[in-house]
Chain A
């Protein structure tokens, strides 16, 4: 199953991503995703429960009532949905089968074919992911790719702890397969 490549190689994707980061840094600011989860939440809470949003020290900083906090970063994530979605439709046939669908083959091999189990796990993982990202101040794009490219000490620390924990956890999950 590992023989199947992606549509473009890691070299092309990596170089393109580095160039894109450079362009973004020249025009506006580096790439980042996880903050926009806060902007999205805050925008909704400011509409639904404005008193609660303003009383909360964290939500009060994001998703302003007037502008909804929709700025460069939020448009970037909307762009990711559009760009990812459109290329996914165009290149569906070229995408390796092993990369398709909601039930990855290696997951099914160890944890079975229950969709509820896979989706519940993904949900729980998502909770940890964004809780951790907000505590640390960024995610893979903002901290690791953009942060390390700016030689930020914080991002090196994040990278070491993230990869360390993720590698250990992955081995615990897939220990049966060795």
Chain B
């Protein structure tokens, strides 16, 4: 059953990314060049709605959260390497899957590169684990646990801020 749910959620995810133009090189690069705010507004809206939804569920005890641990070295350096790869290929792991489904050759090569990147990571893992993953590891920290107040009270103003930014503040600047 869980497999079917996964498949259908994936279908919707893929469809939304395609229909919303998220698998588009010009949109992604336009965002990273700070000219086209489309993708960032899409993401802010998704996170704004998502934060509220997730913490409303959590408030009702219905959320299956999956918090990633904080290990500062690996998360920061991994983030930088990821960011460079994002700008170089023009896709992220999710949008390269959708781009590949659209038949875009550059997305397919990004996908193949990704599978190779994982193998390189697996080979380097023993060294990386001791250097960047185990040190400075603070476990699964959220703003809720950090601030010691119920997540919903952080989620409401945070969501409001993101949605306000996306709908009223961020403006494209082409010319």
**What is A's interface to B at a CB cutoff of 8 Å?**
1-2, 5-34, 37-38, 40-42, 56-59, 70-88, 91, 96, 98-99, 101-107, 115, 118-155, 157-171, 173-174
Q: Is the CB of B42 within 8 A of A71?
A: no
What interface size band does chain B fall in?
35 or more
Q: Is the CB of B79 within 8 A of A130?
A: no
Beyond known contacts A123-B113, A140-B86: 6 more, CB 8 A cutoff: A14-B41, A17-B13, A58-B122, A122-B89, A136-B79, A154-B70
**What is B's interface to A at a CB cutoff of 8 Å?**
2-27, 29-30, 32-36, 38-39, 41-57, 62-72, 74-107, 109-123, 125-126, 128-129, 132-133, 138, 140-144, 146, 151, 154-155, 158, 166-167, 172, 174
Q: Is the CB of B93 within 8 A of A79?
A: no
What residues of B have a CB within 8 angstroms of the CB of A154 in the complex? 67-71, 75, 140-141
Report the separation of the CA atoms of residues A42 and B129 in the bound assembly, to the nearest whole angstrom. 18
Report the separation of the CA atoms of residues A140 and B57 in the bound assembly, to the nearest whole angstrom. 22
Across the two chains, which residue of chain A brings its CB closest to B163? A14
What residues of B have a CB within 8 angstroms of the CB of A173 in the complex? 87-88
Q: Is the CB of B85 within 8 A of A23?
A: no
Give, as a whole number of angstroms, the nearest-CB distance from B63 to chain A: 5
B43 is contacted by which of A11, A124, A144 (Cβ under 8 Å)?
Answer: A144
Q: Is the CB of B151 within 8 A of A134?
A: no
A84 is contacted by which of B18, B88, B143 (Cβ under 8 Å)?
Answer: B18
What residues of B have a CB within 8 angstroms of the CB of A28 in the complex? 2, 5-6, 9, 64
Q: Is the CB of B51 within 8 A of A125?
A: no
Report the separation of the CA atoms of residues A5 and B172 in the bound assembly, to the nearest whole angstrom. 13
B118 is contacted by which of A37, A80, A136, A148 (Cβ under 8 Å)?
Answer: A37
What residues of B have a CB within 8 angstroms of the CB of A7 in the complex? 18-21
Q: Is the CB of A129 within 8 A of B86?
A: yes
Would you mind naming 23 contact pairs between A and B with Cβ atoms under 8 Å apart?
Answer: A14-B48, A18-B45, A25-B53, A30-B64, A32-B66, A34-B93, A79-B12, A80-B101, A91-B18, A102-B106, A107-B90, A131-B121, A139-B82, A141-B94, A146-B66, A147-B67, A154-B68, A154-B141, A158-B82, A161-B79, A167-B33, A167-B87, A169-B86
